[in-house]
A and B are shown apart, each in its own frame.
Chain A
Amino acid sequence: MINRKSISVYGIHLSIEFEGEKFGELIDRLTKNLSAVIQNSVRLKKAASISLKLLLSGKISIPKGSRLLSPEHALFKVLNWRGMIYLVYEDSVLQLDLQTGTAIGYFDEAIFKKPRPVCYSFLDSSIRILLHSQGLFYLHAAALERQNIGYLFVAESGAGKTTNALHLVEKGWNYLSDDSVFLQGNGNKKIILHSIPSEFRLNGINENSRKHLLKHSFTVPNNDKHFIRMEKAYPAQYRKHCAPHIIIFPKIVNDGVSRFVPVGKIKALGLLMNESPLIFAKYHQNNNHLEVLKNLINQCVTYRLLAGRDLLHNPDKLFDLISSVPTTICENSK
């Protein structure tokens, strides 16, 4: 039996066909997390669209000569072959056509017996790649908003994005994400950030001041982090979208004194490309992706946050430091 669902994700039409009942709960959760809106099956005129077909029977072969894109420790393998992307988890395979924005997937019985996040992440990753094919570009960054000014904290894992983001939320800031957002150009070179809702993932909740978060958090096997359900802990502070004005690149240093240092455009673009990589060769969205990153740089003021030991001992200082960043420039960039 084939079921169908049509949803709108950040203005992009997504149609999903799925075999049997097992996908239903996954898709419902995906719908909720992507802030999607259920639509009837009528396709919006002129809307960008992607489609996904999910099967429980069949086989998808990976072509010989496919190039492995994912690192060794990745949960799924990601392979590239002539404009097609393959996501592989054991015997389950998703084949994505970046040119047409369509995908077909075969989910082996075994994947449904794994912890729920595995199956969910497998499907979620395919949707994100398809959204990418329609001009929604992933950026590994924390995103927050305060007084209509959008802030991005862009850095590799372990540089303190979640720690900083949670501290600012506790000070009353609004949040989109502690880890990742979508970038979207709106046609006149302005860039909008879209939240990718998920839990804040924190290394331990030890301080007494954060004990109240324990009731809103959970842990998973083989993972040291606490997953904080922010929609429960700080429901009124969640934002789905915002316009970015300030990009901060945190870097942990051994110095005693933390400070902001302006970053030039080229350096900033290079740092952004690390966290929003263009990795697919001969891909029609590459130029658009690079243009979006460039427009993001032009829209924002960019700083390096050299985070020293003083922030470790006194996290409140982060709020003081950010408050000292000039906002007059931000006004001009709005």
Chain B
Amino acid sequence: MIRLEQRFQHHSQVVSTELDPSEAVLLHLESQKYYTLNETGSQIWKYLEEGLNLRQITQELQEQYDIGSIEAEKSVLSLIGELESEKLVQSLKAKKG
């Protein structure tokens, strides 16, 4: 089960590019499948690269989109779950404390 304290990183087999601020494309080099992310997804993808944990990402989204914590958490956990199942992200060990 994914926890908000967890950090994730981009999978080493994935390259990505932003087509415009509202759309990103990810390519998995091994499967040769490509995926698209909408504006929110692209923003989460960038936050992962910056090293934020999922709780921090949730807080950023709440501020950016003026939404409640439950809605933000749901978005983040749902997307990360999908990205992990497609092997686009990998979990890092959660920091203690």
Contacts and interface: CB of A to CB of B under 8 A. Distances in A.
Interface stretch (B28-36, B44-52, B70-78, B88-96): B28-36
A90 interface: no
Nearest to B13: A281
A67 to B, nearest CB: 10
For the residues of B in contact with A, the DSSP-based class is strand
Interface residues of A, number: 20
The interface size bin for chain B is 10 to 19
Contact of B19 (A282, A286, A287, A297): A297
Interface string B19-44: 11001010101101010100000000
B27 A278 contact: yes
Interface string A258-293: 000000011001100100011111100011011101
A290 B15 contact: yes
A265 B29 contact: no
Contact of A269 (B12, B15, B19): B19
A286 B17 contact: no
A277 to B, nearest CB: 7
Closest 4 CB pairs of A and B: A286-B15, A294-B17, A290-B17, A290-B15
Given A273-B34, A287-B17, A291-B17, 6 more contacts: A266-B25, A269-B25, A278-B15, A281-B12, A281-B30, A294-B25
For the residues of A in contact with B, the DSSP-based class is helix
Given A269-B25, A282-B12, A290-B27, A277 B19 contact: no
Interface in A278-334: 278-282, 286-287, 289-291, 293-294, 297-298
B26 to A, nearest CB: 10
B13 A266 contact: no
Residue from the set B12, B19, B20, B36 with the largest chain A CB neighbour count within 10 Å: B19
